Structure 1
Amino acid sequence: MLTKKTRSTALRITNVMLAVLLCPVAAWGWGDQGHKIVAVIAADNLTPTAQIHVASILGAQPNKSATATAMEAAAILPDRPEFREEYPLTKPWHFIDICLKDRRIDVPGECHEGNCVTAKIDEYSKRLKDANYDRWGAAGDLAFLIHFVGDIHQPLHAANNGDLGGNCVIVDLRSLETNLHAVWDTTVVRDLEYEIDSGKPETTAHKLERTYAAEKELDAWVPGHTDDIAWESNQIAHSEIYEALKLPVEPCVPPAAVCGNKPKVELNSSYLDHADAIAGHQLAKAGFRLASLLNEIWTQPVAMNDTMHAASPAVVPIVSSAVTDQIVGNRRSKIYAWPGCGTYDKMAPENRVEFPSRDAAEQAGYRAARNCP
């Protein structure tokens, strides 16, 4: 596990509150930071053959750095607000509601009509291996696969306690409230980054790689065992989230359409420390397993231009927009910028804060830079 540093409770809670404040209310997956960490770890562990395929599909130079950057952009595409609004049918693809009362044998039955994260991982793995792409083309299908492998390792994306995967459990963080699912999606990951003293997904990814290097071979992807990974995440949610917070096991049927009277829980520093360690381990496993899966998909050299021609023209600009629309704020000056602004590339790494939109930046108290196009 990661070595813990001595920090005051007051500083710890301040960092957590800041992370929550900067997170979107609706939580899908690990959040941008977590998905980027998974992508970087995976990029670092691709075989040369798989790296060339991935770079070709995503329109990147065939080197590790460029491939990692392209994978980071692709990883967060399925969570972009404009993408979710245009393709709402993809919403259930990000999770599988395995009830805490379920047994391992019940897992396949919780994936209704193939619209869940386990089925979609298997589907997009096969599509990419067979070069049989759907409406989103090679680039879109690869973006989905990168994202969903991250999702399945977020414990609350494979668990349900009659609470919509923790979305109905209100969390009290010193008068700032959000839900338990959002805390695990984004707050815990941000806190993990601050603990590592990076604040950047790339630095965090490399730290996690070193920390869990001995487990890399154990985390090889085994085709046909996607349900086992979902069950593993479910059991982590059961013991490390629900039991740790002393939340009773509730029936999952009939499914909750809206949140009723669910408990409010307080997350103390000890719980958050433990959550950081669990999340870091899960992110490392996701990165190693994603690399192993991509290495298994592509074992033959890429044919010149074949994969790029297979990509849908409508997909590549969407993948690119995940980078070009990035809003970054300076936590010291409280000014935000975007590519093309004079200050965008001049911010010190430790001062950079990422936002999903300009509205989110302004709601957090930031103003736009005056030297932007």
Structure 2
Amino acid sequence: MKRPLRQVASSLAALSLGLAATPACAWGPLGHRISAELAERNLDGKTRAEVTKILGAENLADASTWPDDQKSNPDPFWQKEASPWHYVTLPEGMNAADLHHPAEGDAATALERFTATLRNPDASQQDKARALRFIVHIAGDLHMPLHVGNGTDRGGNDFHVLWFDEPVNLHWVWDEGLIQKRQLSYTEYADRLERAMTPDETIAWWDAKPADWMAESVALRDRIYPATSVELGDGTEEAPVSLSWQYAYDWTPAMEQRLEQAGIRIAAYLQWVFADQTG
């Protein structure tokens, strides 16, 4: 149904204000914690001990949101250096082998950097804790399809939609909207997904190669964009496309699979990182 032009204008104004006030991030806190909780449940004994040695009582779910929690930290490290480390850009038709890393770095280069820190016997515990938190976070980010962006719309942040009549963007729908519809805590959601996963899936998804994660995200990303906005009146105005139950029905299973895969891959990656560590 076409919406009255005045209502559309009001919605778009609210959308602009909301976007200006809300920084982009991959998976909301709930999504990161769900995947990190699944990862923790899949760590082997040695890897769990290595993690505890670095983080102490802090669990992976707490660690997973730390890089986003620090985005308002006024330190230049957070305001300038770390900002690009949450995403990569792979235009349509390109694959991970073609990935061009900007001078400021991206999620892929940051993952390599922090992996080297964890494997450096001379790195301080503080540096290793920062590295571990970023690794858990970035691995989750790379499973969110819009954080392997196409380079045209800031990972769906500029693709305006209505979500159950609320003005948001497609990035937010995948960060938060689909997950929040379940109305579960992160442990309840992790329990639900863990019950749904089969041993064969865990084995098939045990993959410590970020290039594979990114390729999967690109394949999904190129399918999740809804039909473009509809014209109003004489065709000079457009309303953002309206998403609700049908979109949630169509895409929640894929979103949940990415959370499951992220959890398995975080565990696989950490086990690979610590495999040759002797102390």
TM-score (norm 1): 0.61
Shift of 1:141: 0.6
1:345-360 to 2 correspondences below 5 Å: none
Asked if 1:267 is matched to 2:243, the reply is yes
Task: Pick the aligned partner of 2:195 from 210, 221, 227.
Answer: 210
Q: Which is further off, 168-177 or 90-99?
A: 168-177
| Pairs within 5 Å for 1:1-373 | 25-60=22-57, 70-81=59-70, 84-86=73-75, 87-88=78-79, 89-100=81-92, 102-104=93-95, 107-109=98-100, 111-113=101-103, 115-131=105-121, 133=123, 137-160=127-150, 162-191=152-181, 193-194=182-183, 199-213=184-198, 214-222=200-208, 225-239=209-223, 241-242=224-225, 245-247=226-228, 264-299=240-275, 303=279
Cα distance in 2 for residues equivalent to 1:203 and 1:281: 16
Whether contact under 8 Å (1:170, 1:262) holds in the other structure is no
The verdict on how the C-alpha distance between 1:120 and 1:163 changes in structure 2, with shifts beyond 3 A counting, is same
List runs of 5+ in structure 2 lacking aligned partners: 1-17, 230-236
Query: Partners in 2 of 1:301 and 1:173 — Cα distance?
Result: 47
RMSD: 2.6
Gaps of 5+ in 1: 1-20, 61-68, 249-260, 304-373
- Over 3 Å counting, the alpha-carbon distance change for 1:144 and 1:105 in structure 2 is closer
The one-letter code matched in structure 2 to 1:285 is: Q
Q: How many residues are paired up?
A: 249
SS at match of 1:177: strand
The structure in which a higher percent of residues are helix is: 2
Deviation per CA, 1:46-102: give whole Å up to 9, x if none: 010000110111112xxxxxxxx62111110000155554312211110012122x3
- Cα distance change on mapping 1:132 and 1:120 into 2, 3 Å: farther
Going from structure 1 to structure 2, the CA distance change for 1:302 and 1:105 (only over 3 Å counts) comes to closer
Cα displacement string for residues 93-151 of structure 1 (whole angstroms, at most 9, x for unaligned residues): 10012122x32266322x21361112222222232123454895111110000000000
Greater relative contact order, per chain length (Cα 8 Å cut-off, separation 6+): 2
Task: Assess, with a 3 A threshold, how the Cα gap between structure 1 residues 105 and 157 changes in structure 2: closer, same or farther.
Answer: closer
Q: Percent identity?
A: 25
Q: Do the aligned partners of 2:164 and 2:243 also contact (CA within 8 Å) in 1?
A: no
Deviating above 6 A after TM superposition, structure 1's stretches of 4 or more consecutive aligned residues are none
